[in-house]
Amino acid sequence: MLLITCPHCGVSGEETEFAPGGEAHLKRFGPGSEEGEFAGYLFYRKNPKGPHFERWRHAYGCGKWFHVARDTVTLEIFGAYKATETAPPQEILDRIAARGKA
Ligand SMILES: [Zn+2]
């Protein structure tokens, strides 16, 4: 069970309070783009074994979208941040880099 903290309202809850929204930080391609780029945007997603950045929505709370950095193997959550961030905050990247070094 994932325990997620919403960065908008600050409420922590089990993952059943939230709705997953797929991979975060996708670069969008629309009309006028190369066919391969558009197909990649529509269909291809990363499926890493380890740290991953995902979109989540606080479905049974404030209803807002945000991003979560978590490990797909250990289910450790490195942090959550607002969906308006275009890249993960440095403190979360530092936590990912420091994992397993304790
Ligand atoms: Zn919330």
Q: Give the type of residue at 85.
A: E
**Region 40-64 average pLDDT:** 96
Comparing CA positions, the residue from 3, 29, 6, 18 lying closest to residue 83 is: 6
How far apart are the CA of 69 and the centre of ligand 1, in A? 16
Residue 102 has pLDDT above 60, yes or no: no
How far apart are the CA of 77 and the centre of ligand 1, in A? 16
How far apart are the CA of 101 and the centre of ligand 1, in A? 32
Asked whether 81 and 66 are in contact (CB, 8 A), the reply is: yes
**Region 8-23 average pLDDT:** 97
How far apart are the CA of 52 and the centre of ligand 1, in A? 21
Q: Based on the structure, what is the number of domains in the chain? A: 1
For residue 94, give the CATH number of its domain.
3.30.2270.10
**Region 28-48 average pLDDT:** 92
Task: Give the model's pLDDT for residue 87.
Answer: 94
| DSSP-based three-state secondary structure for 40 | helix
Domain that holds residue 91: 3-98
75-85 confidence digits (pLDDT tens)? 999 999 999 99
Return all residues near 52 (Cβ < 8 A) that are at least 6 apart: 23, 46, 69, 70, 71, 72
Asked whether 55 and 67 are in contact (CB, 8 A), the reply is: yes
